[in-house]
Amino acid sequence: MTRLAAHGVGLEVPPGWEGRIVRRPSIHPAEQPRAVVHVASFPLPEARGDFGVGVTELMRSGDVFLTLFEYGPESLGTPLFAPVGIPQLTGAIFGSRRLQRTLPGQLGCQLFFTTDRRPFCLYVVVAGRLHLRSALAQVNPFLETLDLSR
C-alpha cells in the first residue's frame, strides 16, 4: 500500500489503486480551503469534478471510485452531518438513484459524517452490481486507514 498525506488527510491507497489529495481553493475570503480525496481502482483523469464528473464516465465493469469531500465549519452541528466517525459501507446503502450522475450499470452511495470537528461527505461509485461485494471488501479496509485528525 502507498501512504499519502496532505491537507490534514492521511490514507493508504490499496495496491493497484490511484489516489489524490487536493485542496480546493476558497472562493470567498471568509471561506477556508477544503481537502478533497479521490481514490480509484483505475487511472484517474487530471480533469475531475469533485464528485466524479469526468471520471465516472470512464468506469468499466468492476471499477470503483471514491470521493471524500470536506465541508466548511458552517456545516458543523447541522442534522445532515450528525453521524460521528468514519462510516463503514454495506451493500444495502448502494443504489442507482444515489448517484450524482446516473450512468447505466453504476451504483452509488453518499454518506455525510463528522469526525474531529470536520464535516465530510463520502461518495462511492461502483460499476456493476455483480462487483459490489468485492468492491466493499476493498473500500471498507481502505476507510479504516483514513486519518482525518489535523
Q: What part of residues 5-44 is at the interface with other proteins (CB under 8 A)?
A: 5-7, 13, 15-23, 43
Kind plus residue range of the DSSP H or E element containing 114 = strand 106-115
Which C-beta is closer to other proteins: that of 13 or that of 103? 13
**Is the distance from CB of 52 to CB of 101 less than 8 angstroms?**
yes
CA distance 147 to 150: 8
Which C-beta is closer to other proteins: that of 12 or that of 126? 12
Using CB under 8 A as the binding criterion, the count of chain residues that bind other proteins stands at: 20
Stretch that binds other proteins, among 2-10, 76-84, 102-110, 124-132 (CB under 8 A): 2-10
Q: How many CB atoms lie within 10 A of CB 143?
A: 16
**Cβ partners under 8 Å of residue 34, min gap 6:** 23, 24, 26, 69, 70, 71, 72
Provide the minimum distance between the beta carbon of 64 and other proteins in the complex, in angstroms, as a whole number: 14
Provide the minimum distance between the beta carbon of 66 and other proteins in the complex, in angstroms, as a whole number: 13
Q: Which residue has the cell 471488501?
A: 137
CA distance 86 to 137: 16
Which C-beta is closer to other proteins: that of 15 or that of 79? 15
Provide the minimum distance between the beta carbon of 41 and other proteins in the complex, in angstroms, as a whole number: 9
Q: Where along the sequence are the contacts to other proteins (CB under 8 A)?
A: 2-7, 13, 15-23, 43, 45-47
